[in-house]
Chains A and B, each alone.
Chain A
């Protein structure tokens, strides 16, 4: 047994101290007619002297003797009776000792449990503190993100209204453009008529020459031609803008996607800085029912990204747009030789408001809008890119039935 456990087999010496034993021994001696000696279970005398002629009576609490009572003066009956008494005393003692030892063990055990629970509580408190701190940090981060997105949304709306304004202006510019061109044409005719005056003057050319009207007529014609070319350019830009913003065709139409590519390309071409070239490699496509304005918006967004990617690379480059129709669908590929994207950028590229540019230089809606448009046309858009190796965006549309 564990020497300190309640469940050990108790020895006589533990059950009765020497004072208790001698008091008990004295009482037993009187009952036994004078002589009484008590030994423990191993025969070791604890009280009195064991006479050689003594009778012995073993007292067991469990299985083996815990005490042996000796007396030379008592008869068997007396010895048995005294043994019973000693047994009763020892039995009461062992019950008391075991119960109190067990009680102590249980108290210690309960105390250990309490300490364990206390440690658990401390631990969980620390965990909750940490959690609270983490939550606080996350809330702050989310608030910051919300503020940033709000700013972006504001800019996106601003941009949208700028687009509407541009479309409206394009429309308005068309009218004065028309009559200015018409007026210039009339003026060209007037100048011709004015030149005819020289023939009529025949002899008296002094005033004509003095006023250097020959130069005036000649240079006036050049000026008018140049102005006409300028106006034609304005008209083309306005035309592109109108086609692009699709003010006049907001509804579905049966359209050749290649036309959308050409129109979006025309707009981006006017913005291309030196060193960036645009190359169209378009194979015939079947016409599809689509929203041409939206499709052009999507193409324009991707083309603009391609242009920026090349600009960012700091080197001259090319944007190649190709299209083809196969049995599985219509494919439009836009490939640039720009700086390319890292895997984590690709992962987020289609998320709204994801941008690698500083606030005010792009809101991160370009690819997201493009994808929404392509999805609305039952198509898909995918992106493959490697850093410094350029980017290819592929749009796929189902083949028309």
Chain B
């Protein structure tokens, strides 16, 4: 849940998905692509053969017209099946989730399995997935083995979640995915924290503030 004191409002966004689908790559590219008022370094916890063991963390922030510091902390979960306890701990208290799927046909089962674990873990840590800002990104679209976009759209079209197609390694679709998730987050939280009324933040300003387009 968001954390609010008189000077700052902090959101936690989690990049979830199967092993090696590109969650950390998303974070690294966002660090390069975004230019918000405040941007921390990517904190990468120990990795083993390029795979996340604990989590990665990218902090971003900007000041609203009211002076409130809006912070967004982006976490990744470890994708490997064995680390489910860690994944659950990272997921807990999340305000939004970007599900990063590996868009290769051979990975469809892993994607489905990971998505199932997301819904289960949400239930376990007390997150109502019905109302959770959730974006689904199909990554690695540049690979020749990628499933065509039309096929994905016909299969996922009936779900309530926005879809994004990306090639995180090349920096494509990463920023758009994040922007989409931010818009969802704003719509979910605006009323509760009076972002527009008290802090003079429209949806566009909120997204732009964190992307660094202001």
Contact = CB atoms under 8 A, between A and B. Distances in A.
A99 B75 contact: no
Interface size class of B (residues with CB under 8 A): 20 to 34
Given A95-B45, A99-B45, A102-B90, A63 B38 contact: yes
B96 to A, nearest CB: 14
Contact of A62 (B46, B73, B83, B88): B73
Contacts of B88: 106, 109
Contact of A7 (B38, B40, B93): B93
Nearest to A91: B43
A313 interface: no
B12 to A, nearest CB: 6
A94 B55 CA distance: 13
Contact of A6 (B69, B83, B84, B89): B89
B92 interface: yes
Nearest to A5: B93
A102 B55 contact: yes
B85 A107 contact: yes
A105 interface: yes
B86 interface: yes
Contacts of B71: 62-63
A62 B92 CA distance: 20
B3 A1 contact: yes
Contacts of A98: 43, 45, 54-55, 57
A62 B57 CA distance: 9
Given A7-B12, A63-B40, A106 B83 contact: yes
A88 B167 CA distance: 33
B45 A105 contact: no
A283 interface: no
Contact of B89 (A1, A60, A63, A106): A106
Interface string A214-239: 00000000000000000000000000
Given A1-B3, A95-B45, A61 B86 contact: no
Interface in B30-81: 38-40, 43, 45-46, 54-55, 57, 59-61, 69, 71, 73, 75
A107 to B, nearest CB: 7
A91 B45 CA distance: 11
Contact of B85 (A5, A63, A91, A110): A110
Residue from A63, A105, A108 having most chain B Cβ neighbours under 10 A: A63
B10 interface: yes
Contact of A95 (B43, B84, B90): B43
Interface of A: 1-2, 5-7, 9, 60-64, 91, 94-95, 98-99, 102-103, 105-110, 113
8 contacts: A1-B93, A61-B40, A63-B40, A63-B69, A98-B43, A102-B89, A105-B92, A106-B86
The 10 A-B residue pairs whose C-beta atoms are closest, nearest first, are A110-B85, A105-B89, A106-B85, A62-B59, A106-B86, A109-B85, A63-B38, A62-B40, A63-B61, A109-B88
Given A1-B3, A7-B93, A103-B86, 20 more contacts: A2-B93, A5-B92, A6-B89, A7-B90, A9-B10, A62-B57, A63-B59, A63-B69, A64-B8, A95-B43, A98-B54, A99-B46, A102-B55, A103-B54, A105-B92, A106-B85, A108-B85, A109-B86, A109-B89, A110-B85
